[in-house]
Structures are given as C-alpha cells and as structure tokens.
C-alpha cells in the first residue's frame, strides 16, 4: 500500500528538519535513498525546502518566528539525542511546514520571478544539497562553489569551481543557465551534472535536454551531428560532452561531439552523491586523482608504471586508507605514510 500524500509531506518535513540541524554521512545516505524511492518524496521535499528558503523574506513575521523556534527545538533535540522529544518536535515542524506550503500557494507566483542572489560552497570532502526558491535543487560535490542570480527573465548559476548536479524546475519563460569557464549550459526543466576540470567542462544529462553554448557569442558548442532536422543541437538524456577550454576561460573554437552513455556509466559518474567512487578498469593515476578531490591527505604515485596499472571497484570517497590497504595487500604496492601524503610505489 502506497503512503498517502500527508504522510509523505510529514516525512519530507522530518527530513528537512534533520537536514537543517545537520546530517551525519549515514543520515545523508538514508535521505538520498528516501528521495530516490518515490518521485513524490523528492517533489514534496523540494516544495518544503523551497518554502523554507523563502523564510528570510518574511523575517520578523509571526510565521517565521514560530518555525524558527521549532527548528531550534529540533536542533537541540538532535544534539542531545532526546529521543522522547523528537516525535513531538518533528511532528510540530511537519505540520507547520505543510501549512507553510499552503500559505505560499497564492504568494509563490509573484515571488517566482522576484530577483534572487545567493552563494554557496563546500569544503574538501563535503557534499551539500541546496534548494532554490523556484523549486530547483543543486547538489554540490566536494570543493565546489556557485553564485546564483535570478532575474525576471532568467535563472543563472555561475560555477566557480568543482561539480554540481542540477535538478531544474520547469519554467519555459525563464530558462535556467549554468555558466562555467565560458560555457553556458541552458535548460528549461531537466537534470544534469556539470564538472569543471582544469582544461575542460564536462556535462552529463540524466533527464531532459540542454543546450551547450559559447558564453560570449551564444553559438552552440555541440558538433552539427548532434542536431536533428536542422534544429539547434542539444545534449539529450544519457549523453555526455566534454568542452575543452583555453586560457582566459574561453571555450575552444572547435565544437565537441556528444557521447551516448549506458545508464550504468551515468550512475557510475554520479556515484559521488552517495559518497562513492566507482571505477571500471581505470588507471591508478585516475583513481588517485579522484580520491585526492575528497581528502586533504593526498595520495602520491612515485612510479610511472604503477600509475598506468588498471584497477576497478567501488570505494568510499572519504576512506582512501582502505583503498591503500587493498593495494598493499593485493597489488604488491609499497606504501610510505607521511602526515600530509601517502606515497605509492611498485615493489621491485
């Protein structure tokens, strides 16, 4: 029997309260599993999170004060692990947040086109989910930073560094544009991932389609073969494109050709959402580079032949020590541990 909408709303409010109070890595994984279990879970959570993010606009009102007080109660209950207090506090917040969504039902259309500006960033090893006032969500990977600007005509996010998964709420009159190193990724309602490398911008589309254009000229950066019947080329669901960039953050003049990926490869590329790194016969140099994105203690390969050796498997991004022990025990790798780095060498 499927849960009724009211129970889903209360569960979403409960998760939102816990998120505001601070989630452990285990709770974050449980939240992502709950969101993925039913599309109604994600929709309800986004609606509540979007309404909560707009409370700053109502600062000083009775509604804002009451909800903030209840959230403080949640934080204190979470911090002191008072299990008896949690159901009452959670239930009260759930009821308030559900009422808040109804309150915004008439207010949101006018606010949907209001100017909005925000910045967000994550430290090394951290992952953050951010709800936007239009109902879209951003999931920032390790060491990432964004600047968000909404106007009446467009929704724009500048990716300053790192990687972000975007879930875009549909609004055909106000496109959602992600700018990264001179590349504009334009969407209406879709889900896609953008990652900035030192010399390229990588875009993966999980749902829907996006345009990939030159930030300065507006010209497409997709090869003509991507177009259908003379239409503007788009990057569709299940496709990836890597746009090389040159100095001064200007995209290369040559258009890039999209590559179609099997669903398993897309999920492998986005496994970071669950704190995982998944590799299928990847060179050790590539695996080490990924681990180093998530950890301050860096892995260093001091052997070119070892760097080229290939390995596969699923690993915890924040746990390079277990991976190193695996190399030591099964691949005959010598390990030197220092305070700030771990040096890997092939045994002679």
Range in 11-20, 33-42, 78-87, 199-208 the model is least confident about: 78-87
pTM of the predicted protein model: 0.68
* Residues 166, 187 contacting (CB under 8 angstroms): yes
Angle among Cα 308, 314, 318 to the nearest 5 degrees reads: 95
Name the token pair of 265: 């490869």
- Residues of the chain within CATH 2.60.120.1440 domain(s) are 116-261
Other C-beta atoms lying within 10 Å of the C-beta of residue 142: 21
For range 322-339, the mean pLDDT: 90
Tell whether the model's pLDDT for residue 217 goes beyond 70.
yes
Name the token pair of 42: 């994600």
For range 22-51, the mean pLDDT: 75
Of the chain, the percentage scoring pLDDT greater than 90 comes to 47
Q: What fold is seen in the domain 116-261?
A: Jelly Rolls (2.60.120)
* Residue-level pLDDT at 26: 73
Other C-beta atoms lying within 10 Å of the C-beta of residue 3: 13
Name the token pair of 192: 């896609």
Q: Is 200 exposed, middle or buried (0-12, 13-18, 19+ CB in 10 A)?
A: middle
- As a whole number, the mean pLDDT across the chain is 80
- CA distance linking residue 12 with residue 98, whole number of Å: 9
CA distances from 330 to 102, 212, 233, 245, 311 (A): 58, 43, 47, 39, 11
- Residues of the chain within CATH 3.55.50.30 domain(s) are 275-346
Closest CA to 127 of 224, 19, 45: 19
Name the token pair of 240: 């990836």
Name the token pair of 201: 């911008």
- CA distance linking residue 328 with residue 39, whole number of Å: 43
pLDDT by residue (tens digit) across 57-77?
A: 444 445 455 555 555 555 555
Classified as helix, coil or strand, 291 is helix
* Residues 138, 46 contacting (CB under 8 angstroms): no
pLDDT classification of 302: cutoffs 50, 70, 90: very high
Cα 176 to its chain centre, rounded Å, is 16
CATH number (3.20.20.60, 3.40.50.2000, 3.10.20.340, 3.55.50.30) of 275-346 reads 3.55.50.30
């Amino acid at each position: 029997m499927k849960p009724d909408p009211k129970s889903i709303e209360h569960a979403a409010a409960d998760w939102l309260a816990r998120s505001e109070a601070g989630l452990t890595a285990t709770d974050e994984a449980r939240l992502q599993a709950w969101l993925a279990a039913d599309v109604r879970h994600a929709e309800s959570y986004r609606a509540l999170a979007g309404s909560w993010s707009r409370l700053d606009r109502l600062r000083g009102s009775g509604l804002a004060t009451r909800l903030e007080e209840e959230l403080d109660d949640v934080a204190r209950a979470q911090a002191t692990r008072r299990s008896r207090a949690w159901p009452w506090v959670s239930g009260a917040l759930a009821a308030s947040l559900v009422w808040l969504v109804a309150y915004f039902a008439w207010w949101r259309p006018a606010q949907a086109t209001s100017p909005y500006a925000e910045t967000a960033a994550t430290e090394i090893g951290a992952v953050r989910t951010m709800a936007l006032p239009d109902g879209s969500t951003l999931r920032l990977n390790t060491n990432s930073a964004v600047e968000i600007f909404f106007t009446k005509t467009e929704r724009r996010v500048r990716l300053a560094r790192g990687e972000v998964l975007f879930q875009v709420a549909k609004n055909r009159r106000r496109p959602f544009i992600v700018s990264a190193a001179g590349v504009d990724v334009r969407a209406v309602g879709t889900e896609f991932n953008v990652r900035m490398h030192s010399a390229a911008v990588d875009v993966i589309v999980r749902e829907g389609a996006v345009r990939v254009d030159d930030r300065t000229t507006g010209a497409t950066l997709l090869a003509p073969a991507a177009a259908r019947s003379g239409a503007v080329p788009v990057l569709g669901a299940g496709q990836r494109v890597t746009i090389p960039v040159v100095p001064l953050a200007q995209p290369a003049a040559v258009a890039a050709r999209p590559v179609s990926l099997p669903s398993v490869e897309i999920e492998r590329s986005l496994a970071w959402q669950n704190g995982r790194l998944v590799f299928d016969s990847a060179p050790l140099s590539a695996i080490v580079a990924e681990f180093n994105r998530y950890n301050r203690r860096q892995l260093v390969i001091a052997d070119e032949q070892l760097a080229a050796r290939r390995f596969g498997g699923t690993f915890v991004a924040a746990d390079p020590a277990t991976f190193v022990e695996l190399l030591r025990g099964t691949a005959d790798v010598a390990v030197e541990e220092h305070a700030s780095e771990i040096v890997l060498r092939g045994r002679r």
